[in-house]
Amino acid sequence: MSKITQKYLSALFIPPFVVSTLASTSFLLLFQLFRITELIIIKNVAIVLVIELTAYVMATFLPLSTPLAVLFAGIYALNKLSADSELIVIRALGVSITKMFVPLFFMGLTIGALLFFLQYSFIPNAERSLRLLMTQIATRGVLGNIKEGKFFTEMNDITIYANKVKEKGKYLSQVFIHFREKSNDETSAPAASTGSTVLASVNSERIILAQEAAVVTRMGELNNNKLSLQLLDGNILKVNAKKDNKLSFEKILFDKYIFPLVDSSLISGSGAINCTRTTKELYDIVIKKSIPYPSADVKEQVKTKVEFYSRVNNALLCVVFLFLGFSLGVQRGRGKNQNSVVISMVVLAIYYSLLSAGISFARSGRMGVEVAVFSPTLLTFMISLVFYRRLKWVV
């Protein structure tokens, strides 16, 4: 095949691929519009932060939207070649179907490699930044409603009172905090800057008094920044309700105490913690096993494996879906239409149904994670191969 023909096929594929990527990402973004609208209306977020938030969300959708864009761009490019009779001209020049697929194959490899590179650190960092920004927006909106000399009760199980409020809730003076905890088992939690530990019983309440308080950012799990309230010069009164209905009291003095601030109604579901890990971290955990799993829970370990293998699978999907789009896009002779888009939608429905079912089986221990993730891709490749082999007889 001449270089001109190769460049023409590549140029015919790239514009619809870009358009399809933007379209599929925007479509997925529609499902987040309600949450973004809630932030704008309820939290009164600046438009600049909304744009930044939207950019992070779109970046996290790339692993899903890119393979879909490759599929539909491949169908469009080959449909156009067939409709304009350019495919007949290319075949008349002695170019076989296999040789015609070669430049598109390398195009799929390039896109897959680029997607894997983005998933290595860029997309996990975007996920981490998204979680941080959502937390900042939610907390900033909440703290902005704290008024001097008034009880603030908009956060679940937390009541905050401050005599003085500065910079829209960022700095507080003479602070009173009432916090109610509910748990089924006894757990331990840090109580003060000294590092001592206090047992949290079945039901407990904390009353915290502090002279000063400020919103700070601290490092959390996987280097995720978390917003907290840094309290200075105060004390904690903890009331524990035992299972025998008896009460116990503890009082702790502190110079500095970090109180976490979370508005779970807005940041829940912003992404599993595994999404914020780089591919190198996941590789060290799943393959090299040089880093232990963060949790001893088998289901959590399965989630970590699914995240790692899904990143590898997404890169492979770019090649497999392009092969499917190529095989479906070539029309069976002039004037014939095989409803390539409809067939592709059916194949996609089968693929994602099997993938979802496989991951469910893997989480229940009835199937290996590798089988659950890669089997639907292998089946899609086999379906693509069937359509590709049929091209030998009709073109």
Other CB atoms within 10 A of residue 17 CB = 21
Query: Two tokens at 275?
Result: 């999404």
- Cα distances (Å, whole numbers) of residue 267 to 80, 218, 226: 44, 17, 12
Model's pTM, two decimal places?
0.72
Cα dihedral sign, 321-322-325-326: negative
Q: How far apart are CA 234 and CA 366, in angstroms?
A: 53
Domain borders along the chain are: 3-140+273-394, 156-262
- Taking the C-alpha atoms of residue 148 and residue 163, their distance in angstroms, rounded to an integer, is 5
Task: Give residue 356's identity as a one-letter amino acid code.
Answer: S
Question: Are the CB atoms for 160 and 151 separated by under 8 Å?
Answer: yes
Return d(Cα 225, Cα 203) in angstroms, integer: 29
Q: What is the pLDDT of residue 301?
A: 84
> 3-state DSSP call for residue 96?
coil
Look at residue 226 in the predicted model and tell me its pLDDT. Answer: 62
Rounded to 5 degrees, φ, ψ at 61 are -85, -10
Give residue 350's pLDDT. 96
Beta bridge partners of 236: 208, 252
Sign of CA dihedral 289, 290, 296, 299: negative
Could you give the CA distance from residue 275 to residue 263 in angstroms, rounded to a whole number? 20
DSSP-based three-state secondary structure for 151: coil
DSSP codes, 122-138: IHHHHHHHHHHHHHHHH
- Would you write out the chain's pLDDT as a tens digit for each of its 395 residues? 567 777 888 888 899 999 999 998 888 888 777 777 766 676 667 788 888 888 898 999 999 999 999 999 999 988 888 787 777 787 777 777 888 888 889 999 999 999 999 999 999 999 888 887 876 676 665 666 778 888 887 777 788 888 888 876 678 899 998 888 765 444 444 444 444 434 334 467 888 999 998 877 655 544 445 667 889 999 988 887 766 667 778 888 989 888 877 544 444 443 357 788 888 988 888 888 877 776 667 778 888 899 999 999 999 999 999 999 998 887 755 545 568 889 999 999 999 999 999 999 998 888 999 999 999 999 999 999 999 888 764 44
**In the chain, beta strands by DSSP E:** 158-166, 171-182, 187-190, 197-200, 203-219, 225-241, 247-260
- DSSP output for 71-92: HHHHHHHHHHHHHTTHHHHHHH
CA distances from 341 to 207, 317, 348 (A): 62, 18, 10
Long-range contacts of 306-310 (CB under 8 A, 24+ apart): 306/359, 306/362, 306/369, 306/372, 306/373, 307/272, 307/274, 307/275, 307/277, 307/282, 308/279, 308/282, 308/283, 309/369, 309/370, 309/373, 309/374, 310/63, 310/373
